[in-house]
Amino acid sequence: WHSDWSFLRAPPAGTVLYGNIIPPVGGDTLFADQHAAWEALPPARKRALEGLTAIHSARYAYAPQGTYGENDKGRSMDIRPSEAALATYTHPLIATHPETGRRGFFSTFGYIVGIEGMPDNEALPLLRELYAWQTREEFVHRRRWEPDMLVLWDNRAVLHRATGGYEGHRRELHRTTIAAPAYA
């Protein structure tokens, strides 16, 4: 689960995927509504999370020793690991959407590597707990791809993940990323 490139100073507003070649099985995309996840929290929990600043980084994914680092082989995407992935940027853990004004979680554990001013032995368990909440079934929509389908999502409002399960079949999606100014 992730929000595209939340580890940048100004993460993208959205992503567009076009289903060019769709396998006969698998390859669905799941979306988790982060406004609904926030709104479903008890008021006391919301108060405890308000004002926290998340530290974002691509280190666990794209640094040379990351998941998609120098030892990762055989991917269809051209992933280029780099020391630049060690950089960090901060964004509100709970952000106000610039167009709708709705509050919601912004990104999740993985690209969020800590909480500003909180020791890791407190921040990491909190991030794991929130990850479990953010991705609960009641917040998730499954999109089954069809040929020539175009899907657009708001990276500031949802998390997403691919399901896999199409081994032995070709899957080709064309992607466009939509820029946005940094969260205030």
DSSP 120-149: HHHHHHHHHHHHHHHT-GGGEEEE---TT-
* CA separation, residue 139 to residues 39, 69, 71 (Å): 11, 31, 34
Eight-class DSSP state of 180:
-
Burial of 38 (0-12, 13-18, 19+ CB in 10 A): buried
CB-based contact 156:95 (threshold 8 Å):
yes
Catalytic residues: 2, 4, 160, 175
C-beta of residue 154 within 8 angstroms of C-beta of residue 160: no
Could you tell me which residues come within 8 angstroms of residue 45 by beta carbon, excluding any fewer than 6 positions away?
Answer: none
| CA–CA dist 134, 128 (Å, integer) | 10
